[in-house]
Structure 1
């Protein structure tokens, strides 16, 4: 039976009072800021809001299931999980089976905030996640191409305070506090606007108020059946549209309902959070952790297939959880010692065979540092890097089949060391060869700054770095020196400016530098920087030799010759390393 649920204000009041809650089978909030803005523009234009599916929970069943609150202050790194409700009132509860994303979007926009990572910033940096709230430009216009009419944006307080002739940024959450139109009129009267602007801004603000406080836009269907199996089936069917329900969501849902001693949802999310914070930060997901659980527990074919999610397998996963957890943390720390992080790890799935190897041998933190494991670590690292360098991509299509095969090889031959040669032979048979042709070697010598393969390649051909420090891929000749104006002043012909700028961003002009040195180096010419930081001539000559910088010129005029010389030197070294 379909019911009228009233206004958005009434809906959020029930969310605030926890009359509307989320069952444990729900996924995380996945909408992006632009999706929330589009939702509000659609609401203001009067487009249909969609129907919700609610699940009425009788009081006697309230402790049978686990429930969560809606996210309000969303933070991409620190606060993206729904908080579990430990105590529930002794009354009927209404769980949301379909509509979580829309309700959470309304909750964030009208009661909370959204903090996402700024491009180019470190995942581990707090400053990379400025808190933003939803604003509406009362004088703004929409985008004709996208069909929007209103200008909604998530802004920081500083950006919102920058009011210009064509902007009056109104914090959307303030509309909840304005119960009647008199308050709106008083607010408008305080704005320094001309008559035309007053008219336009007033109309937009009154439309927003009507959309939130007056329009009955909420409708819902209520399910009263208390059997979890039926509810789970309804949930999966209802989530087949929109942002698709993944197999991992299904697995998590089943695990939540079948684990006996642990809260599967909290365990998995906690592990994902902990893995993300290791080293310079990773961007692993619950999908990866769940697939690792299947792989390390020797369940089925590693894939997210329904037959892998039966009760027996889920109980096996729970029994193995402590060992799985410790192994995934160890594997993540191992990747961090290799210098990998969220910005340069090309394929997150590559951690899975590494984790299975560590799990199979029951290795611990000793593996990360003890000399007795040095040769084995190097063999594993070489295989991992080679798999990252293949342009065709090793970790894409056929992933489950590859992982299942690698698991069998490690199980059979990985008792005393990483079976790299056997693994590579099997990968070759499967069309995933780790051998490199002459054309591939040429392509590698021109990898560009920002390519995720670039760090892996530099870390392979230049040894001796301690990756427990923050390392960056940096330019030998600073990129700022290749601005057209500076090249012209240096006497470089204008017709060469574009090609020189392109060369400046390619491998022959790249190196690895620890973060503090990278920051201090800035726009210094390389010979000046080396002389300053390495005043000892013998140390400087040794460094230049190991980093293939022997032919480093004193001026940028000779850059093209240096580029050609180092490109050939790099190709020779790459060929040598990848031939192993």
Structure 2
């Protein structure tokens, strides 16, 4: 990387209009406001540094691998808020802007284009709601860091607004884009004469300074990266943009995908799918990373790491060809997760969706799978595996790519007729990610606190009677507002030495349950015994609920809370030990299991690929 000879703003804009400077698809959209643009111009006029730029010289051989976009020129909040693709640029090299897009775009809009924003209090379909405005400079204003913190008065105005201000004598508005043609000092003098302010010293100083900023002073300082190793350039981009919008490696790889897709816009397709997935059920938090990773898995790529080499032309062509199938598998998988009660709040690892989507796609299962009695046992097996893997710490952490390729190979071989729980868990154990639980882990689970993401899969496993397709909530059996108020506890007759114990147990598992949203709203801060009498019409119904949720012996008031808590915790432990098939130290080791501390192979050793789609 080398520092280049600085150039003027006028020269930089000429290179933008010749498409010598372009925007790679990895760049985000233009997001600056009008106020930020005017402050940039004020900083330039005052001689303040505006930072250096980082550019990448893309040689002829690499230019075709990327999609490029033009700089925004005439911004319209509703009708033109996205940069347009350049289309094919031929065999010539181009310079891609890695850092400085917002500043260069602001200069392009101010000196060459317009900014059209919606006026407040007007409907969006009102044709008067979006007046087109261009940047103007008041030639009669030269403040000294006025109330707005600026010295030069730049504003976006309509022609009518500029004319009215000038006619009133309050200002003399000069259209900034006219400075592009005022290339010499003589041009500046003629402009002052045409505006009738040739004898005004302030106007002369202001317009002369604008001419210097645009045509004379080499303001655009930039570094040029000439290396053609794409991974290196993309990592540079991440580094220099880390202070702005959050970027992921998938954002960068979208530029490669966008360049290779012929029928669809990859960036738009993937963004839309992510939005759709996250709107399913009670809402999720999936990312572009997960969508692209799923694509690599479903395509059967042997190496599914986020590397530019894994997003070559052949892979991107296949990704577009099978995009409809990939979209369908992901939507189906997320819908099934929602049926099981998972959401962005309760799903501890988004990556569990990937093997699920692969399985659903491989078996070519339709929407009827979600409700048909014929698939009930299969759904139960998947749900139980999901719960176990999400309750277990460390399963979906390090070594994820190797785990996903191993699960894919197992599903390829064993998942033809149903979810192969035993084969799946053997493969996970082989990779040091056994789903076997030790007694100490059971105690850790039972000490989880309210708000833990591992809480939901455990409660859903323990008490499957709650229909998780309905809106439900994690609720305190004894209300938190009572248990954490020493004033209320003392008033109820709780002894002083019991207060800290009650406060500690208030948010732990043995005082928590799953309730439908309506039930939880009706319960509110009522003591459980009183709520049960009001909620259930008969003793039989109350007794059934108490047995189902391990709440037999529920006390009438809070003074019996600690005894109830200990008894319920013991019952929950017995139930959990049975459901998870926890082995004591005298039990034989399950066949195929690997030691819990086994080391996984590094992710840079890709497993052999399957044929995939």
- The count of aligned residue pairs is 475
Please say if 1:555 is aligned against 2:596: no
Whole-angstrom distance in 1 between the partners of 2:30 and 2:389: 30
Question: What whole-Å deviation, never above 9, does each CA across 1:151-196 have from its counterpart, x for those lacking one?
Answer: xxxxxxxxxxxxxxxxxxxxxxxxx9996699999xxxxxxxxxxx
> Quick one: distance in 2 between partners of 1:522 and 1:106?
57
* 2:475 counterpart SS class: strand
Shift of 1:47: 7.6
The Cα shift of 1:535 comes to 2.1
Change (3 A) 1:366 1:183: farther
In the aligned structure 2, how far is the partner of 1:430 from the partner of 1:382? 20
The 1:302/1:231 distance shift into structure 2, 3 A limit, reads closer
After superposition, residues 463-478 of structure 1 pair within 5 angstroms as: 463-478=464-479
TM-score, normalised to structure 1's length? 0.70
Note the C-alpha offset of 1:224.
13
1:49: how far off? 3.2
Q: CA deviation at 1:475?
A: 0.6
Name the residue aligned to 1:138: none
Structure 1, unaligned runs of 5 or more: 74-78, 114-175, 186-201
Task: Sort the Cα spacing of 1:224 and 1:340 in 2 relative to 1 into closer, same or farther, 3 A.
Answer: closer
| Cα RMSD (Å) | 4.8
2:423 match: 422
Q: Which moved more, 1:402-411 or 1:313-322?
A: 313-322
CA spacing shift, 1:255–1:490, aligned 2, 3 Å: same
Q: Secondary structure at the match of 1:512?
A: strand
CA deviation string 1:1-47 (max 9, x = no partner): 433449xxx99xxx9x9x9997452244799xxxx9xx99xx99x78
Match of 1:445? 446
Matched, 1:207 2:135: no
Closer, same or farther: CA 68–270 of 1 in aligned 2, 3 Å: farther
Deviation at 1:65, TM superposition (A): 4.9
- CA distance change for structure 1 residues 289 and 237 in 2, over 3 Å: closer, same or farther? closer
Compare relative contact order (CA 8 Å, sep 6+) and give the higher one, 1 or 2. 2
TM-aligned CA distance change 1:297 to 1:477, over 3 Å: same
- Tell me how far 1:401 sits from its aligned partner: 0.6
User: Aligned-pair distance for 1:349?
Assistant: 0.7
> Is the CA contact 2:26–2:255 (under 8 Å) kept in the aligned structure 1?
yes
Counterpart CA distance in 2 for 1:538 and 1:55 is 78
Tell me: CA distance 1:492–1:236, structure 2 relative to 1, closer, same or farther (3 Å): same
Matched, 1:2 2:6: yes
Q: Against the structure 1 CA distance between its residues 502 and 403, is the aligned structure 2 distance closer, same or farther, given a 3 Å change threshold?
A: same
- The Cα shift of 1:309 comes to 1.6
Aligned partners of 1:476 and 1:104: how far apart in 2?
57
Residue equivalent to 1:501: 503
Evaluate the alpha carbon distance shift between residue 410 and residue 242 of structure 1 in structure 2; reply closer, same or farther with a 3 A threshold: same
Call closer, same or farther: CA 1:105–1:3 in 2, change over 3 Å: closer
Counterpart among 233, 256, 259 of residue 258 in structure 2: 256
More displaced, 453-462 or 259-268?
259-268
Looking at structure 2, the residues matched to 578 and 106 of structure 1 have their Cα atoms a distance apart, in angstroms, of: 63
* Residues 1:318 and 2:317 are matched in the alignment: no
Q: TM-score, normalization: structure 2?
A: 0.66
CA contact (8 A) 2:67 2:85 kept: no
Within a 5 Å distance, the mapping from 1:224-239 to structure 2 comes to 236=234, 238-239=236-237
Inter-CA distance 65–29: structure 2 relative to 1 (3 Å threshold): closer
Aligned 8 A contact 1:470 1:515 in 2: yes
Query: C-alpha separation between the residues in 1 aligned to 2:96 and 2:573?
Result: 60
Structure 2 counterparts to residues 384-395 of structure 1, below 5 A:
384-391=386-393, 393-395=394-396
Q: Which residue of 2 aligns with 1:534?
A: 536
Corresponding position of 1:283: 285
Q: Distance in 2 between matches of 1:224 and 1:439?
A: 54
Counterpart-to-counterpart distance in 2, 1:432 and 1:105: 51
Contact 1:51–1:218 at 8 Å: present in 2 too? no
